[in-house]
């Protein structure tokens, strides 16, 4: 009975927590109008060579956003002085799709330099992976 009450309270806290999303379908319509098309094209190419890459990109987005919000920290490489999420124990050798995200970033930098954030690229890639 106490366990149920704690579970209900935890669920209530989860659902009652306010959230705000700033990325919308047309967020880049004025600043990088072809962003979604560039991402979708890259995902289509990646899916032709690896049908599982869509699920991997969704997982990358989930792992990036799960703990401290969507900040693209999962994409950062580690160094001698910095331990990265990319190579952290739970993610090491289990996350995939970094090369696809890097390709999307390069393509977007070619057409809209400095506009689309890495966190948004992960979100757009996950969205395209679901819709394709």
Residues known to be catalytic: 63
- If one counts every other C-beta atom within 10 angstroms of the C-beta of residue 91, the result is 15
Return the C-alpha torsion angle 113, 117, 122, 125, nearest 10.
Answer: -40
Q: Which residues are annotated as a binding site for Ca(2+)?
A: 64, 67, 69, 71, 73, 85
- If one counts every other C-beta atom within 10 angstroms of the C-beta of residue 121, the result is 25
């Amino acid at each position: 009975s106490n366990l149920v009450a704690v579970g209900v309270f935890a669920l209530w806290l989860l659902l009652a927590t306010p959230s705000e999303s700033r990325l919308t379908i047309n967020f880049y319509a004025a600043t990088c109008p072809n962003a979604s098309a560039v991402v979708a094209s890259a995902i289509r190419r990646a899916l032709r060579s690896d049908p599982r890459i869509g699920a991997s990109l969704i997982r990358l987005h989930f792992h990036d956003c799960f703990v401290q919000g969507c900040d693209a920290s999962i994409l950062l490489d580690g160094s001698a002085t910095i331990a990265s999420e990319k190579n952290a124990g739970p993610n090491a050798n289990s996350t995939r799709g970094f090369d696809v995200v890097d390709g999307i970033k390069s393509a977007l930098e070619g057409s809209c330099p400095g506009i689309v954030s890495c966190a948004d690229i992960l979100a757009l890639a996950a969205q395209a992976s679901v819709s394709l």
